[in-house]
Structure 1
Amino acid sequence: MNRPNVILIMTDQQKRDSLSVYGNPVCRTPNLERLASEGTIFDFAFTPYPVCVPSRVMTFTGRYSHVTRSRANSVLMQPDQEHLIMILESAGYSLGLSGKNHCFQADDLDRFDYLWECGHGGPANPPDETAQKAKDFIRESKINPRCWGTVTNPNPPESLGAALTVTHAIDFLKTRQDDRPFFLWCSIADPHTPLQTSEPYASMYDPEDVPIPDQRDDEIADKPLAQQLDHKALCGEMVTEDDIRRVTAMYYGMNTYIDTEVGRLLDRVDALGLAEDTLIIYVSDHGEYLGEHRMIRKSKALYDCLTRIPLIIRLPGLVPANERRDEFTEIVDLMPTILDIIGLDHPDGIQGRSLMPLLNGDGYAARDAVFGETGVESPDGSFRVSGFDDMEGIPTSPTTPNFSPRLKKGDLGPIKSVRTHDWKLVYYPGNQEGEFYDLNADPGELTNRWSDPAMAEVRSELTARILDWCIEMEDRRPSITRGAF
């Protein structure tokens, strides 16, 4: 019997609770609801490192970012990492990638039998004049560089990235020349900024109808300096409620546009007779502020709005249909899950947990917490504030006069977190400041209780959990060649 096919549908920067399948009362995503009704949806799925490349590398290696060393968008998959595409190639799979890469270097891209790339600015090689016009419009529209600008693309939806990505994904399915099982990565670059789409999606949602996240005017005052810097970098003090409504309405339109295209892909899978033998996974690499903490986009932080992601899995006959799970899962779990479902061995050093025992009821040992890390945004390990170098009043170069000694010392760099169902602790080096949230009373993570004496015992326990995790999740694979004695 042939091994199952695999389709991994990945979106970019898609906020979990912006989708109707996760309870959003306004944004319509009927095709994701259809997928969830035919499969299993996970309510507590997280990415440990909420940045594009680190999260994608974790997806394909099953290892955390401090092990893969991909802790910045400039650090793609490293040559010493054994990853899913390598394993599937050896197992005889036909491999396709349509859409955004932001993971693999050139040598690994050569493994794909079918490769068509499309990023946030449109496809690398637009297939026709209309697609070229849509790409040119994005480049020339001068959307607000602080990332809360929105614009309607005058070109038809089929000329934009999500539709083109799905069209080429379908082309891969239709043009395969043999009966080998296939792996297709359909990687949609939306709803990541720039915030733009075509009609009817651009005006589909009225800004007055969208929900607004809870806010606290003085929220940032009791947050660590790193969060204050990021808040300034993203101009949080300038973002108004009207801005949030306008951005959210456009973002919802992009979501529904993506959903329409996902539906088109699902329909073609059905029409080609592939549905019964194809594992489909829908996931996003990370989330988006979308007005939470009065910010748009993402930053060096570990808030739930950035780390908690949508995850739906479907495979008729193996994955239960119309089921919701509330166990903690992480994006590192996807690789071992795929390997178990298709019947291939795990490579050494996998840190994720296969979800197969959870899906088939075979003694799954559920996590009681998930962990996170972020903060290194440059290949040399130096600290940067959200990639901006021109913030008035905040020097961001060690050569700048009056540069903050804390930035020089590097104690605004890497941070790590632990999240249970009740609490979240974010640990900063030096232990002089941090973040601590009561998630039952404060699900929006607005009130930092790090300095609350009443929280000292729980804070100490969770800090020890982070230390344990760091030790347990060291890379235990051999990394040296021993010489002869």
Structure 2
Amino acid sequence: MSVTKDQPNVIVFFTDQQRMDTTGVHGNPLGLTPHFDRIAREGTHLYNTFTCQPVCGPARSCLQTGMYATTTGCYRNEIPLPPDRRTLAHYFNEAGYQTGYIGKWHLAEHEPVPPEERGGYDYWLAANLLELSSDAYSTVLYDNACNEVKLPGYRVDAQTDAAIRYIDRHQEQPFFLFLSYIEPHHQNHTDNYPAPDGYEDMFTDRWTPPDLKALGGSHAQHLGGYYGMVKRLDEALGRLLDALKSLDLTENTIILFTSDHGNHFKTRNGEYKRTAHDSSIRIPAALYGPGFMQGGQIREMVSLLDFTPTLLDAAGIQVPAEMQGHSLMPLVQRAPTQWPDEIFLQISESQVGRAIRTKRWKYSVTAPSLDGWNAPSSTHYVETMLYDLQADPYELTNLAGIESYREIADELKLRLITRMIEAGEEAPIIDSAEPRSAGQRRVSIEELRLKL
């Protein structure tokens, strides 16, 4: 396929474990993200964006391929992406783009990652497990020849410097750059959130999201450092935008900003994600650049899986029929489209779980007899969660089993089974939660008539 300089460059600015409410456009009052807030306002803000798998490796497999984790086979961490799975890099390579990957990969079997495990990317400056190969002020990546490269500065800045160098060297031909940060993920071996020096103190005990305030967890220890990492990421986004402007590339470069999953700070289980709660699955997202300017705020439910076909579509590359996500371009262009009314979620490692999330309801099931590490799916589940997000946006009261909500749960059960079948799974049996009463909690006739 021939290419021209008029084809848009594409950059994915990918953070790790970032809650959507770290951003100003989602109500955070601390001014952490002025650059993200600007591209969301000037470009297209995807207000209701959710991961399709709240753990690192599986989420990355979904974004790289446009397929569910059970389809790629990477349903949990430590399963490498099969070599026959085509990624964003393959499609952009075939369209004549230069492709580059900088940062955390988490889809390989070896470290350093050999060429055959790099998902087709031409330029490589990455580590499979960046959280293990590096620390906040000790950034170690590996180049195309598998040589260790230690970059100076705080880790976010070191990766951003490398990205700016890549952009500067690849101006003459359209490029696709996937810039994958580890921040604001915790540093595994110390279980803390190492912000740049001085940044943690700036944000400690400043503002706590209502779910964390109600449930506790580890936020008192970790939130200041977490916010400091988010602040530095946003400053990195600003530097990247400045670099594009100085090279006259702004008007011809698409930027996707998003994350792999959120962070519930040990409020829902013994770690930070792997549950169906919004704190674990809802993520910030915006698209900026040609085709997305003045796109406004899109309120439809968007999955991480939808970004793969969207980036191809926006670059004029045909979207493969086997992709299980949907291009967002009809929504951005306000064209008539039948968009899904819910998000479908697969959960692994902590459980074998499935869930759907509509604008009002959250419904989740688990396979009680299976281990989430060893089993990718099940044919038998039990209801575990039902939340009314209109009355309970922070998911503090689980309605599963309450008799007056049985009709709603049954409708959501059918919708979940439909989505599981569409994702390539076998239709399961889902046992209802043990019935219980709950005093004044009732569902009105008017509510039952409304679309869920």
Query: Would you call these one fold, judging by a TM-score over 0.5?
Result: yes
1:81-480 equivalences under 5 Å are 81-103=85-107, 106=114, 107-109=116-118, 111-117=120-126, 120-121=130-131, 131-132=137-138, 159-176=153-170, 179-194=172-187, 195-213=193-211, 239=217, 243-290=218-265, 292-293=267-268, 297-298=272-273, 300-316=274-290, 318-321=291-294, 323-375=296-348, 377=349, 385=350, 413-429=351-367, 430-474=380-424
In 1, Cα distance between the equivalents of 2:209 and 2:51? 24
Distance 2:81 2:119 in 1: 14
Aligned mates of 2:79, 2:132 — CA distance in 1: 22
Question: Percent of aligned positions with the same letter in both sequences?
Answer: 31
Query: Where do 5+ consecutive residues of structure 2 fail to align?
Result: 141-150, 188-192, 368-379, 427-452
Query: What is the TM-score of this pair, normalised by structure 2?
Result: 0.80
* Separation of aligned partners in 2, 1:26 and 1:83: 37
Indicate if the aligned counterparts of 2:298 and 2:332 stay in contact, CA closer than 8 A. Answer: no
Q: Which moved more, 1:356-365 or 1:4-13?
A: 356-365
* Residue type of the alignment partner of 2:174: P
Over 3 Å counting, the alpha-carbon distance change for 1:291 and 1:297 in structure 2 is: closer
The CA distance in 1 between the partners of 2:355 and 2:280, in whole Å, is 13
CA drift of 1:80 comes to: 2.5
CA-to-aligned-CA distance 1:80-127 (integer Å, 9 cap, x gap): 212211111122211111111113563142743322125544766x9x
2:44 equivalent to 1:40:
yes
Instruction: Give the total of aligned pairs.
Output: 389
Task: Give a deviation string over 1:225-265, Cα, whole Å, max 9, x none.
Answer: xxxxxxxxxxx8xx4xxx52331111111110111111111
| Unaligned stretches of 5+ residues in structure 1 | 136-156, 218-235, 378-384, 386-412, 477-485
Aligned residue for 1:179, secondary structure, equals coil
Distance 1:359 1:432, change over 3 A: closer
SS at match of 1:202: helix
Out of 430-439 and 361-370, give the one that drifted further: 430-439
> 1:19 Cα shift?
1.8
Contact kept in structure 1, 2:204 and 2:223, CA below 8 Å: no
Distance 1:86 1:301, change over 3 A: same
Could you tell me how far 1:340 is from its partner in structure 2? 1.0
Aligned counterpart, 2:144: none
The residue type paired with residue 79 of structure 2 is V
Q: CA RMSD in A?
A: 2.6
Q: Deviations over 1:412-437 (max 9, x none)?
A: x4111111111111022345441111
For residue 320 of structure 1, report the CA deviation from its aligned partner: 3.3
Change over 3 Å in CA distance of 1:83–1:112 after alignment to 2: closer
Summarize the Cα distance change of 1:427–1:123 in structure 2 as closer, same or farther, 3 Å threshold.
Answer: closer
Kindly tell me: are residues 459 and 62 of structure 1, through their superposed partners in 2, closer, same or farther at Cα, counting changes over 3 Å? same
Q: Deviations over 1:184-231 (max 9, x none)?
A: 1111110000210222322211315444536667xxxxxxxxxxxxxx
- Quickly say closer, same or farther: Cα 1:158–1:258, change in 2 above 3 A: farther
In the other structure, the counterpart of 1:26 is 30
Query: What is the rounded CA distance, in whole Å, between the counterparts of 2:89 and 2:122 in structure 1?
Result: 11
Q: What CA distance in whole angstroms lies between the structure 1 residues aligned with 2:425 and 2:272?
A: 32
Find the aligned partners of 1:436 and 1:211 in 2 and give their Cα distance: 21
Counterpart secondary structure, 1:207: coil
Partner secondary structure for residue 339 of structure 1: helix
| Residue correspondence of structure 1 range 45-64 to structure 2 within 5 A | 45-64=49-68
Separation of aligned partners in 2, 1:123 and 1:277: 34
Check 1:255–1:427 CA distance in 2 against 1; reply closer, same or farther (3 A cut): same
Whole-angstrom distance in 2 between the partners of 1:211 and 1:452: 27
Distance in 1 of aligned mates of 2:121 and 2:232? 27
Alignment partners' CA distance in 1, 2:357 and 2:266: 22
Aligned pair in 2 of structure 1 residues 342, 438: CA closer, same or farther (>3 Å)?
same
How far 1:309 moved relative to its partner?
0.8
Is 1:79 aligned with 2:77?
no
Looking at structure 2, the residues matched to 367 and 292 of structure 1 have their Cα atoms a distance apart, in angstroms, of 30
Deviations 1:387-427 (A, max 9, x none): xxxxxxxxxxxxxxxxxxxxxxxxxx411111111111102
Within 2, Cα distance between the matches of 1:306 and 1:453? 27
Q: Which amino acid aligns with 1:161?
A: R
Quote the Cα distance in structure 1 between the aligned partners of 2:425 and 2:268: 35
Q: Under a length normalisation based on structure 1, what TM-score does the superposition of the two structures give?
A: 0.75
